[in-house]
Structure 1
Amino acid sequence: MLKEMDLHLAANSSRLDQWRATIKKHGEMIAALLGGVLTLAGYVVSEITDTNVWYIYLVAYLIGGYYQISTGIKDTIKNRELNVELLMGLAAIGAACISHWLEGAVLIFIFALSGALETYSMAKSSRAISSLMDLQPETARLIINNQEQQIAVGQLQPGDVIHVKPGERIPADSRIILGETTIDESSMTGESVPVLKKIDDLIMAGTVNIDGNLHAEVTRKNEDSMFSKIIELVQTAQTEKAPSQLFIERFEKIYVKIVIALTVLMLFLPHYLFGWSWSDTIYRAMVMLVVASPCALVASTMPAVLSAVANGARKGILIKGGVHLEQLAGLKALAFDKTGTLTRGKPEVDWALNVSGFADREFYAAVAAIENNASHPLGEALVAYSQKVTKASPLESENVKVKPGFGVSGEVDGRLYTIGKAELFDEKTMQQFMNTYERELPRNHTLVYVAVDQKMAGAFALKDQIRDSSVAAIKTLHQYGIQTIMLTGDNEKTARAIQQETGVSAYIANCLPENKVQAIKQLAEKYGAVGMVGDGINDTPALAQSSVGIAMGGGNDAALATADIILMKNDLQRIADAVRLSKRMNRIIKMNMAFALSMIAFLMAVNLLQFISMPLGVIGHEGSTILVILNGLRMLRG
């Protein structure tokens, strides 16, 4: 019996908690609708009985206006500044004082309903951003001594081995050590096409393992993961205000005082100037208080800004606040670091020459055997090229010796291979080789030479390849009137060749990392607002110096921390998308502000001409507020 009573009490307690949660979540809307029902009831009763039911309207005032008016009073006391909510409360009280209870109740209802809809709209755009937080699992399968155990994601440490099953989200930034799969990275990069991942490939927390069983080694703590950094950026974006919003907030404080002053004048002047009755004069003053309030103006920016930030996040464009997105639209020039930004950052063999007398398969395999023991990026490119040509693993090599800055040597099948810069070889032998093959050697490339048993045997021309997205992105930016400038440490000749290939407007050659900040300052003097796009730690000072710093998502952590906008996928076309998003957001904000001010002017004019009643004034005023909110929420669409 006691057990049944406990279960019954627990069930009632659970229902009570659910009811409280519902009231807390939807209380503002419930109060507004209840106020509307009471207003309607008061109107029906007064029409049927032909009596003054002011007490019903008073209850409608108290319930319907509770959230908005109490918020206005608290903010006024806290900030010592008048606000829109207080103006509406004063207008309703004024209407009641001249026995226009119905109009006052309608004002409260529509104002409260508009406020509840605005709260809902703002919450919707905030949820669109914050939904990222639901993408990370709370637990992970930790493997210890071939046994699995569930632990909280926050307890994972670098070096831990985790098991990720098909269909599950990756719980931590990690490296695959067993298995292969396709990963859905759309939540992080905005790229809808799944990516094939194999052993030694890195996988990110929050992405989805589609079809493979994986064992992966954790590479970062939960708080240091890219996912956690994204959440931090999201929270920053929600609190940081755009310049247009800050301007409106400053303007609102002054404007509200002006409205109060005009209302005080309206309480007296029309009676003496136009011979209006005191009742009409006070009524018109209350209508003016309603229609002149800047609700629509105040709501013209924030929904649009939050929606734009959410839209960008879905496309893999992380924006640290509306201020940066708004500034992006005003850029006149954009500077690009070359390596890793305009280019892929990894040299590739563009051309090869084999005059060794050996078959290509044998020659390239021997070169790869030597370079496989070195760690230089050029050597990695030669190994990759050899594997592509021979489609076989490198041969065994012996006595490999690295000469830092120059090259490497070693033996394969008893023959001595020397691979490296021209300075590594005998000057006379090198000169004869150059004279023979000068016309064949590509220009604007990095050249690596090969000798077999001290005799020149071939050469490789390597080049850092231009990203596929660079040319299209540069072209789009030019269409937006943005000049593009490449910053590179290459010489004038090489820089000019890359300019022709990418289509950038200009370049600054021989630009060492320590000179990038000075280059940004010079560009700012010439163009005004200048942005910077980079990915390396040496780009961070320039990113900080620029009007808007944009970092490539695959770049260094310091660059990601310094930048204002982060491209989660290394795709420069996302920069053009961000500019388009920024310009569209600014256009919607300007449209909202123009509409709000025009509507206020129109309603004030028709009120002075006595063409509008308080309910119609309220509908016009609050309707315009809802319209600018909905217009701002258009930014949520793709």
Structure 2
Amino acid sequence: MKKTLEKNHEHQHRDHHKISLILFFVGILLFLINYLLEESVLKTIFYLVGLVLSGYHVTLEGIEGTIKETKAQKKFTPNVHILMMIAAIGAVIIGDYKEATLLIIIFAGAHYLEDYATDKSKREITKLINLNPKEARLLDDKGNVTIINASEIKKGQLLKVMVGDQVPVDGIIIDGNSAFDEASITGESIPKDKTTGEQVFGSTINKTDVVIIEASNDSGQGIFDQIIKLVSQTQENTAKRAKLIKKIEPYYVKIVLVVAPILFLLGDFAFQWGTRESFLKAMIFLTVASPCALAVADVPASLSAISNLARRGVLFKGGVHLENLAEIKAVAFDKTGTLTLGVPVVTDVYHADKVSVEDLDILVAMEENANHPLAKAIIKYFSKTNAIDLEVKNLIGVGLSATYYGNEYKIGKPTSFKNSSDIVKGETKAFELQGKTVVYFSKNDEIILVIAIQDIENESAKAANIYFRQNNIDTIMITGDAENTANMIAKNIGISKVYANVLPQNKAMIIEDLKKVYGDVLMVGDGVNDAPALASASVSMAMGLGSDVAIDVADSVLTKNNLRQLIIAHKTSRKLKMIVWQNILFSLGVILTLITLNMFGKINMPIGVLMHEGSTLIVILNSLRLLKGVKWNYETLK
């Protein structure tokens, strides 16, 4: 019911906007026709009708806005529309019907263009929302397919995804393989090949073959749904500058309303301009002193930057967070899943001379029966030649054991083996000094393999570190991992400051200490244990494949787990800051120039309005440059 009412309201708003736009052009037509008419009552009527038709929309908007804000604030709270309305009425009073009509036509036209330009960035968000899947093919136990609404999908249901279909929900492929266009999630244009057991994401496009997936969650809880939720929040959370401008606007308008009659009185009695000239200059002052350009100095720029970043896989929950990112003096990174891939891999293997292909097949067979987190890394590294059926025993606190044709095999940590050669001890020590986890594989109590496993660094982490160091921003690692492991990863990436063996609650304390030293600090993390630190930081960013808690707490999200996106976000925040200040200084400069010219009688009403509204359009167009994003040279970060 609520959605229906919202849709009806939206349609009514569009219809009203179309009608007002048509009447606006009718008003312009009447204004132009007057150039063909001689001075007459009809010409005056055409000017007045043109004034009403072209300006009724912005006039009503100004009156309604003033009444609404006055009631809310419980004090007179005018907006810039009121200044223009009074100036137009003043021009009519002194008989300058042409100037009054032209004033309203230029102001209303600029208003429509401002709405169009501002909505351009919002439409990028709407496009994103429209990518949400609408239907799904539900597969029953008998293999029959039923078309259902995507919103009805439940976790565990089997869904058939045809070639060209959108994947309706996050899921795991249980049958088939295909290439998927994941541009809506990652921003990558090249389709990604996926096969049985791999995850697919809702809203992505199946490009090559039919697959069957099992829904990983209910509809509305997937990664794309989180993206829509986060991007939608951007319009509700404006930047501090925008809030400040909005806050001071009514005070500024009040000052202009007070100064205008004072200027009239001074002009008539002190400067001897004459009553008509003084009144006209007061009306021009009302027009050119209006802070239209200043009012749009921030919001269009923020929305343009945020919508552009959303397309590139960086989601901000509001302009204030993107604004704060430009001010950071230090970046604190979690290690696992942020600076590293978060998945252990086999990095080194020491082989004894007696290792056979059969021994390796037995190793893989044993690990296939294991449930410890390092098993997948070992299985992935060692290719299986023959499938071997084994009965594997899980020795709690030790590892795994199995017997095959009279030979006893064991997998476990180094401390569970008593007989190890000096060579094995040397290899083990070397690996452990590099922060790697070591696993032994023995045959009849003789160690035949020493396997080193480590969560390796995120390939993009080094580039991010170089970028921040080049920009005089310190990089710091905060991790609960062991000191040796943390220091080795930090050394490989280039991070000089490391906090290791840190408990989750202490991460937040470290962030608070860093803020005392640096001021604004960015925290980047992915886990539940990072949530307190993310909440404490000046700005926080979660990795998109991290925990829901981290994503909920953070101010922004990197959907691709690629820290190069962080570089793009920071460069965009700096460009946003630069453009907003350009807009503010330009707006104030134009206002002061026009007020000065008016005082010396160097401009008339039409020229004043044209220059004033032109400055507003220039500010908006300058803001829309952020829709193109930023460029940077990756080669400089190698």
TM-score of the two chains, using structure 2 as the length reference = 0.92
Aligned counterpart in structure 1 of residue 50 of structure 2, from 57, 60, 66: 60
Match of 2:336 in 1: 339
How far off is 1:431 after superposition? 6.7
1:172-183 map, 5 Å: 172-183=169-180
Aligned counterpart in structure 2 of residue 74 of structure 1, from 61, 64, 68: 64
Distance 2:426 2:291 in 1: 80
How far off is 1:143 after superposition? 1.5
Q: Which amino acid aligns with 1:312?
A: L
1:202 equivalent in alignment to 2:199: yes
1:109-258 map, 5 Å: 109-144=105-140, 145-258=142-255
Aligned counterpart in structure 1 of residue 605 of structure 2, from 602, 609, 614: 614
Q: Which amino acid aligns with 1:571?
A: N
1:321 equivalent in alignment to 2:318: yes
Counterparts in 2 of 1:26 and 1:631: CA distance versus 1, 3 Å: farther
How far off is 1:553 after superposition? 0.7
User: Contact (CA 8 Å) 1:356, 1:363: kept in 2 or not?
Assistant: no
Aligned counterpart in structure 1 of residue 590 of structure 2, from 599, 606, 609: 599
Q: Which amino acid aligns with 2:578?
A: R
Match of 2:483 in 1: 492
Aligned counterpart in structure 2 of residue 30 of structure 1, from 11, 14, 22: 22
With 201-210 and 601-610 compared, the bigger mean Cα shift is at 201-210
SS in 2 for 1:222: coil
How far off is 1:106 after superposition? 0.2
How far off is 1:62 after superposition? 1.4
User: Contact (CA 8 Å) 2:180, 2:192: kept in 1 or not?
Assistant: yes
Match of 1:414 in 2: 406
Distance 2:244 2:134 in 1: 41
User: Contact (CA 8 Å) 1:154, 1:222: kept in 2 or not?
Assistant: yes
Aligned counterpart in structure 1 of residue 572 of structure 2, from 577, 581, 584: 581
How far off is 1:438 after superposition? 6.3
How far off is 1:293 after superposition? 0.1
1:368 equivalent in alignment to 2:361: no
User: Contact (CA 8 Å) 1:301, 1:589: kept in 2 or not?
Assistant: yes
With 297-306 and 369-378 compared, the bigger mean Cα shift is at 369-378
Match of 1:97 in 2: 93
How far off is 1:296 after superposition? 0.3
User: Contact (CA 8 Å) 2:335, 2:486: kept in 1 or not?
Assistant: no
SS in 2 for 1:341: helix
Q: Which amino acid aligns with 1:291?
A: V
SS in 2 for 1:166: coil
How far off is 1:597 after superposition? 0.4
- What whole-Å deviation, never above 9, does each CA across 1:544-579 have from its counterpart, x for those lacking one? 111111111111111111111111101011011100
1:515 equivalent in alignment to 2:509: no
How far off is 1:432 after superposition? 5.1
SS in 2 for 1:377: coil
Q: Which amino acid aligns with 1:65?
A: G
Distance 1:354 1:188 in 2: 42
SS in 2 for 1:281: helix
User: Contact (CA 8 Å) 2:543, 2:558: kept in 1 or not?
Assistant: yes
User: Contact (CA 8 Å) 2:253, 2:290: kept in 1 or not?
Assistant: yes
Match of 2:36 in 1: 44
User: Contact (CA 8 Å) 2:433, 2:484: kept in 1 or not?
Assistant: no
- What are structure 2's unaligned runs of at least 5 residues? 1-10, 71-76, 630-638
Identity %, equivalent residues: 38
How far off is 1:320 after superposition? 0.7
Q: Which amino acid aligns with 2:217?
A: R
How far off is 1:481 after superposition? 2.4
Aligned counterpart in structure 1 of residue 469 of structure 2, from 478, 488, 494: 478
User: Contact (CA 8 Å) 1:551, 1:559: kept in 2 or not?
Assistant: yes
Q: Which amino acid aligns with 1:472?
A: A
TM-score of the two chains, using structure 1 as the length reference = 0.92
Distance 1:438 1:139 in 2: 55
1:268 equivalent in alignment to 2:259: no
SS in 1 for 2:250: helix
Match of 1:278 in 2: 275
Q: What number of residue pairs does the alignment pair up?
A: 612
Distance 2:387 2:553 in 1: 42
- What are structure 1's unaligned runs of at least 5 residues? 1-18
- What whole-Å deviation, never above 9, does each CA across 1:136-172 have from its counterpart, x for those lacking one? 2311111222111211111111122111111121111
Match of 1:15 in 2: none
How far off is 1:49 after superposition? 4.2
How far off is 1:392 after superposition? 2.8
Aligned counterpart in structure 1 of residue 614 of structure 2, from 623, 634, 637: 623
1:538 equivalent in alignment to 2:529: yes
With 254-263 and 414-423 compared, the bigger mean Cα shift is at 414-423
Distance 1:310 1:194 in 2: 23
Distance 2:431 2:268 in 1: 95
Distance 2:131 2:14 in 1: 25
How far off is 1:354 after superposition? 2.1
Distance 1:21 1:499 in 2: 56
User: Contact (CA 8 Å) 2:321, 2:555: kept in 1 or not?
Assistant: yes
Distance 2:174 2:447 in 1: 42
Q: Which amino acid aligns with 1:623?
A: G
Q: Which amino acid aligns with 1:381?
A: A
User: Contact (CA 8 Å) 1:346, 1:377: kept in 2 or not?
Assistant: no
Q: Which amino acid aligns with 1:317?
A: V
How far off is 1:60 after superposition? 1.5
Q: Superposition RMSD on alpha carbons, in Å? A: 2.0
Q: Which amino acid aligns with 2:375?
A: G
How far off is 1:188 after superposition? 1.2
Counterparts in 2 of 1:436 and 1:476: CA distance versus 1, 3 Å: closer
Distance 2:556 2:386 in 1: 42
User: Contact (CA 8 Å) 1:433, 1:456: kept in 2 or not?
Assistant: no
Counterparts in 2 of 1:43 and 1:123: CA distance versus 1, 3 Å: same
With 490-499 and 309-318 compared, the bigger mean Cα shift is at 490-499
